[in-house]
A and B are shown apart, each in its own frame.
Chain A
Amino acid sequence: MADYEIIKPKVDLRKKIKILPNSSGFDPVAKAEEAMERLSLNFGNWMRDEVMKLQISWEKAEKTGLTEESVDKLFRSCHDIKGQAHTMGFPLAGLIAGSMCELIERIPDPEKLPESLLRKHVQAIAAVVNENAREEDNVVGKQLAEQLSTITEDYIEKHAPADPSENES
């Protein structure tokens, strides 16, 4: 007897939708892109909000020291920026936030995290957003992102425990 069971989905969603002919004139992706274009008027302010949250998390972390709690808040802030910066037209800020997330994820012991390198990430994200450096090829922003990424990779290589995914095929 088989050691598994095949189950049909409880709700057949095909009964709740209609496939539209190409002649319908409805283009959901184009419509969504237009809506995003309108929404993008807010993106600058939204990113500045996110930067402010990051700076507040950082100030708290500086006061209390790098503890599990303060690092967790810091990680949440930079993770939010990593996830939305590209969508909101700030790819360089997303790259720098990604580097900061990588640093925190790969160095799980808060006491081993380099405070100055974290501070530089926070300052760089704030600078890129406040200077409205939106283009991916912004010379200063790009250099900043690359340098931080290189220093971070070096630090991780020297101080991080082995990454289990590196052994995966």
Chain B
Amino acid sequence: MIKVDLSQLRFLVVEDNAHMRRVIRTLIHSFGAREVTEAEDGAAGLELFQTTSPDIVITDWYMPIFGGIELTRMMRQPESSANPTVPIIMLTGHSEKRKVMEARDVGVTEFLCKPISANALYARVANCVVNPRNFIKANGFYGPDRRRFANPLYKGSERRANDAEPAQKKAS
């Protein structure tokens, strides 16, 4: 396990249940982070996201007003979001394949099924900061590149439409 000094990172935790917020905050502080802001629903979470510019967002899926999926969608809006490439870790009790795909398709960076463990949450946080992925902006999608690894030995056909064209636009 890679050990990372996270003391300079700012976290935003969006979770409607006060007890779970306390659990998540305790874990993140123990990992070494100092600054943890909390919101109890998606709307408050979005407001805090826009005003505090956190480095990592940890959000629950199912919340009142609007949930983690809607929140992610709004944070990934390139025109209006304070940081559309922020790493987002989605916590949920849903482990069904279609739910995981739904989260991926709105641009979630990491997916963590409850029950939460210190080890699982740390692994996802560390992965977000140590192995950041580029983002893909395409028709109907804005989110981290779904290809986590580039396989130089891959010899199959290119599945990304028009990828045969080498001239990819790169923006910083």
- Which positions in A face B, CB cutoff 8 Å? 1-14, 16-22, 24, 26-29, 31-36, 39, 46, 49-50, 76, 79-80, 82-88, 94, 98, 101, 164-165, 168
Q: Are A17 and B4 in contact (CB under 8 A)?
A: yes
- Name the residue on A nearest B134 (C-beta): A6
Q: Quick check: is B151 within 8 A (CB to CB) of the other chain?
A: no
16 residue pairs A–B, Cβ–Cβ below 8 Å: A2-B167, A5-B169, A8-B134, A13-B9, A13-B56, A14-B129, A14-B132, A18-B4, A32-B30, A32-B122, A39-B23, A83-B20, A84-B17, A86-B115, A87-B114, A87-B115
Chain A residues with Cβ under 8 A from B62's Cβ?
76, 79
**B27 cross-chain contacts in A, Cβ below 8 A:** 32, 35-36
Tell me, yes or no, whether B165 is within 8 Å of chain A by CB.
yes
- Check B4–A20 contact: CB distance below 8 A: yes
Q: Once the chains bind, are B129 and A5 in contact (CB under 8 Å)?
A: no
Verify B129–A13 contact, CB threshold 8 A: yes
Bound-state Cα–Cα, A9 to B162, Å: 23
Compute how far the CA of A87 lies from the CA of B26 in the bound complex, rounded to whole angstroms: 13
Let me know if B65 is at the binding interface, CB within 8 A: no
Closest to A40 in B: B23
A5's partner among B87, B98, B168 (CB-CB below 8 A) is B168
A76 to B64, CA, bound (A): 9
Which residues of B (1-28) have their CB < 8 Å from a CB of A? 1-6, 8-9, 16-17, 19-20, 22-23, 26-27
The answer to whether B148 has its CB under 8 Å from any CB of chain A is no
Bound Cα distance A32, B23 (Å): 10
Q: 1/0 per residue B28-69: CB within 8 Å of A?
A: 011110000000000000000000000110001010100000
Tell whether, in the assembled complex, residue A1 and residue B167 are in contact, meaning their CB atoms are under 8 Å apart.
Answer: yes
Residues of B bordering A, CB below 8 Å: 1-6, 8-9, 16-17, 19-20, 22-23, 26-27, 29-32, 55-56, 60, 62, 64, 83-87, 91-93, 96-98, 114-119, 121-122, 128-130, 132-139, 145, 160-163, 165, 167-172
**Are B31 and A28 in contact, CB atoms less than 8 angstroms apart?**
yes
Tell me whether A4 and B130 are in contact in the complex, defined as CB-CB below 8 angstroms, given that A24-B3, A87-B115, A165-B97 are known contacts: no
* Chain B residue nearest to A34 in the complex (CB): B30
Q: How far is the CA of A29 from the CA of B83 in the complex (A)?
A: 28
Query: Do A6 and B87 form a contact, CB below 8 Å, given A32-B31, A32-B118?
Result: no
With A29-B122, A101-B93 as contacts: A18 and B5 at CB distance below 8 Å: yes
Please, how many angstroms separate the alpha-carbon atoms of A42 and B40 in the complex? 20
Check A8 against B171 for contact (C-beta < 8 Å). yes
Contact B136 A5 (CB under 8 A): yes
Q: Is the CB of B84 within 8 A of A10?
A: yes
A6 near B168 with CB under 8 A, answer: yes
Which of B87, B136, B162, B167 interacts with A7 by CB under 8 Å?
B136
Check A168–B98 contact: CB distance below 8 A: yes
Please measure, in the bound complex, the distance between the C-alpha atom of A26 and the C-alpha atom of B7, giving whole angstroms. 13
CB <8 Å contact, B29 and A26: no
